[in-house]
């Protein structure tokens, strides 16, 4: 005789186990640790526990169809279907019971974003497991014979129905509990916060009746921009997103000027803390309006940001970050209540801030790491987030290292004569004809390239005002590929004979990209600024590859706004990034924001990134004697072309010819620099 138990397999997690006839599918899922939401506690009223059933029987690893392996739709499910509607093929797992071998699909409504769930990269699914659980209970009414307090009876019901022993209680609820219980006629929904197994679960909010929704906020506090997402903690769906400029900009454009502001002004820290918190409160209001969600329903918030943003947001004086040894006040994850830091949400709402990796490598880099997951894969992955500093993480599941390189603001257009932010009117793409040295380009806000019909008309409407970061990379790379500049980055004055676009300015030359209402040129100083920035970045990366003892990377993720817009090919031509199969170089967008959202929707990611950050080896570039050597060596472009098989592919034959001409060597090998 075979076992009376039935084999049940949950997809997509693949978790499986044997269960007796009549076991509710929800109970089986719970026992296996498959996350299936449920608010009503098995009363078939919340509809959160829906599943899809592939009936079946495991025979030689094949499922043969059969239709009696799950209980028929019962009266509770019929009632739910009548009242709220049950989609075709869906069952309520609290009511449907196991009657035979089964394959159960847990619908993954949660698509965090394409980067995370991309099938080609890894097959990981984002299972939700938020720190907040919504728990509906029916509480015993007061009884003079057993004079337990109202709260105590509520806690007893939460232990009885949801298994919460020794639940802690937020004090702010205590004066409210009697009114809420009576308003709900002794039926209430408790929001329980349980961030980690190491801590006791905590009652943080209480609603009369069945409360079938709860929301969370993920926020990336950038020096320039604050981005926010409002998500349902129960479905995982992102309900609304918004962003705004960081109002701290008025205290200082870049991080160090904000730190200086604090040093110079006794109230500087407080003013900046207030500014960023107010901006976030406004953004929360905005996404709540967009998503038609009440602020009161926000119960959990996750924040990321670089170390200075992290400190200022939390109300910590960032002065120590302004000089060696760049001591963070706190590097580990920070938990607090939203109310404690002046963030308006539910009174019991919790805040989680991801850990910082080092004094220059913040919670934003940690979140990007969590999103891209170098620590989860065998391949060597390089993750680069370029801002005023470039935050660099390199490694794989065996070993991961991180550093920050002082690239300066050149890549953001700040030290470039005609540089500007990516905005309408900014040149964003550039190509230079290798014969005529004439440029063609695209402008943000204009559909056509500059040599296409209709461009002039459209461009006139927008106005061409400058060059944004991505175009700076491209124009310098194109100038190099066309031989306008040498590998040392010097504009070749001899080229002036070939094109009127090579202009002389005293002892140096520049390249005229566009002449309209104003001249847009690339000067020798601009090229030097880019060289310095890319050399700093490359030297930082080199320190990390040295540390790991590897000579190549398998995969590159370019994070942040800059990473999103630059063309990886040009980044490689210029030597910003090391050689890598171009197919495996990806712009991953706001990976920090995505990492924040992952941490919001699944508390296990919090433990994962905390553990990862503890394991990451930190390299302080300023302390590494070889940094300077690497930096000097990386000033030229492209770095060691001969070591760049991928670059050799990129630089197609005619271009390689130019390269060969420029370097005076055959086969792309570059002559030894003589300095």
Residue 310 CA to residue 255 CA, distance in Å, equals: 11
Selection from 156, 173, 51, 143 nearest residue 102 by Cα: 51
Round the CA-based radius of gyration of the chain to a whole number and report it. 29
- Rule CB under 8 A: say whether 330 interacts with its own copies: yes
Query: In whole angstroms, how close is the CB of 604 to its own copies at the nearest point?
Result: 17
- Rule CB under 8 A: say whether 618 interacts with its own copies: yes
Looking at the Cβ atoms of 118 and 614, the one nearer to its own copies is 614
Enter the tokens of residue 112: 């965090």
The set of residues, in sequence order, having a beta carbon less than 8 Å from that of 45 and lying 6+ positions away, is 80, 136, 210
Looking at the Cβ atoms of 50 and 400, the one nearer to its own copies is 400
CA distances from 132 to 96, 200, 600, 610 (A): 25, 13, 10, 19
Query: In whole angstroms, how close is the CB of 301 to its own copies at the nearest point?
Result: 14
Give the one residue of 166, 507, 672, 675 binding its own copies; rule: CB under 8 A. 166
Looking at the Cβ atoms of 193 and 565, the one nearer to its own copies is 193
Q: Contacts with its own copies in 346-365 (CB under 8 A)?
A: 356-359
CB atoms within 10 A of CB 671: 10
Query: Is residue 52 classed as helix, strand or coil in its secondary structure?
Result: strand
Q: Contacts with its own copies in 188-217 (CB under 8 A)?
A: 198-200
Enter the tokens of residue 597: 């959202």
Q: Which residue has the tokens 């296409």?
A: 452
303 beta partners: 219, 353
What is the end-to-end Cα distance of the chain in Å, rounded? 85
Residue 662 CA to residue 529 CA, distance in Å, equals: 21
- Rule CB under 8 A: say whether 342 interacts with its own copies: no
Looking at the Cβ atoms of 155 and 228, the one nearer to its own copies is 155
- Rule CB under 8 A: say whether 174 interacts with its own copies: yes
Give the one residue of 315, 322, 408, 425 binding its own copies; rule: CB under 8 A. 315
Looking at the Cβ atoms of 40 and 169, the one nearer to its own copies is 169
Query: In whole angstroms, how close is the CB of 402 to its own copies at the nearest point?
Result: 10
Residue 326 CA to residue 430 CA, distance in Å, equals: 39
- Rule CB under 8 A: say whether 622 interacts with its own copies: yes
String of contacts with its own copies for each residue 456-485, x by CB under 8 A: ------------------------------
- Rule CB under 8 A: say whether 147 interacts with its own copies: yes
- Rule CB under 8 A: say whether 146 interacts with its own copies: yes
Give the one residue of 18, 172, 274, 640 binding its own copies; rule: CB under 8 A. 172
Give the one residue of 206, 334, 544, 571 binding its own copies; rule: CB under 8 A. 334
Query: Is residue 401 classed as helix, strand or coil in its secondary structure?
Result: strand
Selection from 209, 232, 205, 214 nearest residue 43 by Cα: 209
Looking at the Cβ atoms of 241 and 331, the one nearer to its own copies is 331
Query: In whole angstroms, how close is the CB of 142 to its own copies at the nearest point?
Result: 4
Residue 313 CA to residue 552 CA, distance in Å, equals: 38
Q: Where are the alpha helices (DSSP H) in 292-402?
A: 307-314, 363-372
- Rule CB under 8 A: say whether 144 interacts with its own copies: yes
- Rule CB under 8 A: say whether 588 interacts with its own copies: no
Looking at the Cβ atoms of 317 and 492, the one nearer to its own copies is 317
Looking at the Cβ atoms of 171 and 267, the one nearer to its own copies is 171
Residue 246 CA to residue 398 CA, distance in Å, equals: 37
Query: In whole angstroms, how close is the CB of 282 to its own copies at the nearest point?
Result: 23
Using an 8 Å Cβ cutoff, are 585 and 554 in contact? no
Looking at the Cβ atoms of 201 and 252, the one nearer to its own copies is 201
Residue 403 CA to residue 384 CA, distance in Å, equals: 10
Looking at the Cβ atoms of 198 and 378, the one nearer to its own copies is 198
Query: In whole angstroms, how close is the CB of 167 to its own copies at the nearest point?
Result: 11
Query: In whole angstroms, how close is the CB of 271 to its own copies at the nearest point?
Result: 15
How remote is the C-alpha of 177 from its chain's centroid?
A: 38
Query: In whole angstroms, how close is the CB of 99 to its own copies at the nearest point?
Result: 41
- Rule CB under 8 A: say whether 267 interacts with its own copies: no
How remote is the C-alpha of 655 from its chain's centroid?
A: 36
- Rule CB under 8 A: say whether 626 interacts with its own copies: no
Residue 512 CA to residue 491 CA, distance in Å, equals: 12
Residue 66 CA to residue 101 CA, distance in Å, equals: 10
- Rule CB under 8 A: say whether 611 interacts with its own copies: no
Give the one residue of 20, 114, 327, 632 binding its own copies; rule: CB under 8 A. 327
Query: Is residue 456 classed as helix, strand or coil in its secondary structure?
Result: helix
| Site stretch for its own copies (CB under 8 A), options 115-123, 336-344, 459-467, 513-521 | 336-344
- Rule CB under 8 A: say whether 265 interacts with its own copies: no
Torsion of CA 392, 394, 399, 403, to 10 degrees: -20
Looking at the Cβ atoms of 393 and 444, the one nearer to its own copies is 393
- Rule CB under 8 A: say whether 272 interacts with its own copies: no
Residue 237 CA to residue 218 CA, distance in Å, equals: 12
134 beta partners: 191
Enter the tokens of residue 439: 């440029």
Q: Contacts with its own copies in 30-59 (CB under 8 A)?
A: none
- Rule CB under 8 A: say whether 159 interacts with its own copies: no
- Rule CB under 8 A: say whether 422 interacts with its own copies: no
- Rule CB under 8 A: say whether 323 interacts with its own copies: no
- Rule CB under 8 A: say whether 329 interacts with its own copies: yes
Give the one residue of 138, 152, 554, 660 binding its own copies; rule: CB under 8 A. 152
Q: What share of the chain is helix, strand, coil (3-state, %, to 5)?
A: 35, 25, 40
Looking at the Cβ atoms of 168 and 604, the one nearer to its own copies is 168
Selection from 111, 161, 96 nearest residue 134 by Cα: 161
Query: In whole angstroms, how close is the CB of 275 to its own copies at the nearest point?
Result: 16
CA distances from 331 to 270, 542, 549 (A): 21, 25, 27
| Site stretch for its own copies (CB under 8 A), options 169-177, 204-212, 243-251, 644-652 | 169-177
91 beta partners: 51
Query: In whole angstroms, how close is the CB of 314 to its own copies at the nearest point?
Result: 6
Query: In whole angstroms, how close is the CB of 364 to its own copies at the nearest point?
Result: 16
Residue 284 CA to residue 280 CA, distance in Å, equals: 6
Give the one residue of 187, 335, 421, 649 binding its own copies; rule: CB under 8 A. 335
51 beta partners: 91
- Rule CB under 8 A: say whether 219 interacts with its own copies: no
Cα-flanking dihedrals φ and ψ of residue 230, to 5°?
Answer: -110, 120
- Rule CB under 8 A: say whether 498 interacts with its own copies: no
Q: By the criterion CB under 8 A, which residues form the site for its own copies?
A: 142-152, 155, 166, 168, 171-172, 174-175, 177-179, 198-200, 314-317, 320, 324-332, 334-337, 340-341, 356-359, 618, 620, 622-623
């Amino acid at each position: 005789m075979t076992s009376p138990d039935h084999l049940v397999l949950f997809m997509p997690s693949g978790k499986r186990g044997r269960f007796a006839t009549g076991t509710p599918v929800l109970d089986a899922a719970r026992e296996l640790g498959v996350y299936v939401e449920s608010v009503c506690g098995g009363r078939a009223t919340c509809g959160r526990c829906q599943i899809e059933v592939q009936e079946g029987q495991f025979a030689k690893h094949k499922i043969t169809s059969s239709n009696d392996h799950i209980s028929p739709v019962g009266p509770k499910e019929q009632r739910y279907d009548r009242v709220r509607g049950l989609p075709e093929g869906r069952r309520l797992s609290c009511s449907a019971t196991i009657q035979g071998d089964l394959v159960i699909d847990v619908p993954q409504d949660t698509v965090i974003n394409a980067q995370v769930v991309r099938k080609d990269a890894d097959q990981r699914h984002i299972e939700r497991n938020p720190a907040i659980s919504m728990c509906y209970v029916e509480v015993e009414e007061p009884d003079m014979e057993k004079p337990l307090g109202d709260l105590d009876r509520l806690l007893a019901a939460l232990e009885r129905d949801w298994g919460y022993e020794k639940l802690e209680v937020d004090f702010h609820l205590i004066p409210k509990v009697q009114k809420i219980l009576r308003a709900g006629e002794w039926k209430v929904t408790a929001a329980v916060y349980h961030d980690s197994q190491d801590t006791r679960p905590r009652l943080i909010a209480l609603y009369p009746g069945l409360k079938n929704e709860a929301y969370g906020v993920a926020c990336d506090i950038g020096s320039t921009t604050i981005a926010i997402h409002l998500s349902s903690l129960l479905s995982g769906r992102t309900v609304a997103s918004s962003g705004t400029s960081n109002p701290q900009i008025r205290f200082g454009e870049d991080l160090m000027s904000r730190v200086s502001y604090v040093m110079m002004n006794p109230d500087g820290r407080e003013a900046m803390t207030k500014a960023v918190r107010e901006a976030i409160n406004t953004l929360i209001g905005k996404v709540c309006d967009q998503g038609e969600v009440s602020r009161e329903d926000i119960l959990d918030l996750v924040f990321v940001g670089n170390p200075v943003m992290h400190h200022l947001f939390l109300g910590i004086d960032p002065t120590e970050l302004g000089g060696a040894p760049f001591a963070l006040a706190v590097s580990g994850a920070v938990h607090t209540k939203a109310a404690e830091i002046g963030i308006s949400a539910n009174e019991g709402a919790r805040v989680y801030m991801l850990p910082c990796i080092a004094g220059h490598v913040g919670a934003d880099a940690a979140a990007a790491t969590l999103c891209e997951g170098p620590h989860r894969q065998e391949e060597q992955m390089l993750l680069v987030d370029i801002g005023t500093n470039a935050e660099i993480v390199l490694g794989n599941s065996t070993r991961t290292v991180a550093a920050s390189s002082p690239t300066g603001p050149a890549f953001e257009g700040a030290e470039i004569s005609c540089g500007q932010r990516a905005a309408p009117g900014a040149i964003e793409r550039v190509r230079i004809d290798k014969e005529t040295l004439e440029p063609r380009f695209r402008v943000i806000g204009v559909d056509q390239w500059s040599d296409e019909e209709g461009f002039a008309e459209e461009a006139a409407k927008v106005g061409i005002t400058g060059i944004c970061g991505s175009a700076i990379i491209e124009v310098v790379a194109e100038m190099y590929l066309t031989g306008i500049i040498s590998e040392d980055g010097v504009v070749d004055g001899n080229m002036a004979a070939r094109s009127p676009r090579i202009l002389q300015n005293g002892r140096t030359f520049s390249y005229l990209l566009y002449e309209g209402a104003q001249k847009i040129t690339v000067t020798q100083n601009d090229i030097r600024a880019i060289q310095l920035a890319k050399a700093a970045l490359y030297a930082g990366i080199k320190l990390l590859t040295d540390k790991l003892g590897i000579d190549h990377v398998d995969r590159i993720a370019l994070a942040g706004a800059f990473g999103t817009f630059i063309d990886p090919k040009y980044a490689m031509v210029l030597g910003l990034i090391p050689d890598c199969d171009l197919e495996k170089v990806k712009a991953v967008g706001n990976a920090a924001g995505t990492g924040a959202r992952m941490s919001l929707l699944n508390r296990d990611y919090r433990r994962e990134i905390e553990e990862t950050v503890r394991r990451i080896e930190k390299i302080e570039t300023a302390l590494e004697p070889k940094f300077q050597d690497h930096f000097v060596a990386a000033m030229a472009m492209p770095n060691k072309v001969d070591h760049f098989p991928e670059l050799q592919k990129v630089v197609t034959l005619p271009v390689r010819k130019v390269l060969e001409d420029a370097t005076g060597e055959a086969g792309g090998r570059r002559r030894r620099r003589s300095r």
